[in-house]
Amino acid sequence: MSTESQDKIILIFNHMPIAKMRHRQTRKSIAYDPQSRIKNQVKNEMIHMSRSILKELEAKAFIVNFVFEFPSPASDSNAGRCLKEWGVIHHNKKPDLSNLVKFYEDCANGILFHDDSMIISCQMHKKYSNTNKPKVIMTIIPIKKDIDSKSKQVLEVLSPQRVRELMKACNSIITLPISELTDTAGEVNEKYLEYVAHTIVGFANEFASDLLKVKRKCPIGANNDKD
């Protein structure tokens, strides 16, 4: 089952969570995937669920979150089952959380995204189901937003660290006490004038080259509207 909420795409698999297994070898040392059949079943589910949301899945990067819900063992007492459903007892047993995620990421390759390397963030949670039924909830958030080309041109010139340095230098000028500057010539303290001059010269020497590059990228009068 799949649902869509704003920029989120939620896929729900109503089966026992599956963990990725290592490839095995035959007696002739030929490697094979012991999960090929179940992988094909899950892939077919993904294909069926993604047919109506293919356009939403067109993105350069993705955030993918997983919730793996396990039923309580049949051997559990009623008290133990209740505590697990309330989340008081955690699912701290096999299978490993990372192997669970890897199985579904592998299945999603070429279907929900070109490759799981496109996933830039992933949250995962393994727990006992509060309905005592197995389930896998896969939430996909396509990263589609992009800044306009003019802004990109500016950011190509200055790194985040360089901008921090520029802002710090700007702040040193902004914090110069304006009250010291008067319209009456000769009333300003000479040492203060020297401080102002040295501050401005230091700023120019440090950032003139960077600001000139920005000016060349986005000259005054150029169209700065978003593409």
CA atoms within 13 A on the CB side of 19: 12
Per-residue tokens: 163 = 């901008």
Mean pLDDT (the chain) is 86
Cα–Cα dist 210/143, whole Å: 30
pLDDT of residue 3: 57
pLDDT in tens, 22-48: 887 777 777 778 899 999 999 999 999
pLDDT of residue 10: 93
Single-letter residue type at 67: V
Residue 99 has pLDDT above 60, yes or no: yes
Cα–Cα dist 44/107, whole Å: 9
pLDDT of residue 217: 84
Residue 68 has pLDDT above 80, yes or no: yes
Higher pLDDT: 7 or 20? It is 20
Structure confidence at residue 70 as a pLDDT band (50, 70, 90): very high
Which position has the token pair 């309905």?
Answer: 131
Asked whether 111 and 43 are in contact (CB, 8 A), the reply is yes
Average pLDDT of the segment spanning 36-62: 89
Q: Which of 3-12, 17-26, 102-111 has the lowest mean pLDDT?
A: 3-12
pLDDT in tens, 182-226: 655 556 677 777 888 888 899 999 999 999 999 888 876 555 554
Structure confidence at residue 64 as a pLDDT band (50, 70, 90): very high
Q: Which residues pair with 109 in a beta bridge?
A: 113
Cα–Cα dist 73/189, whole Å: 83
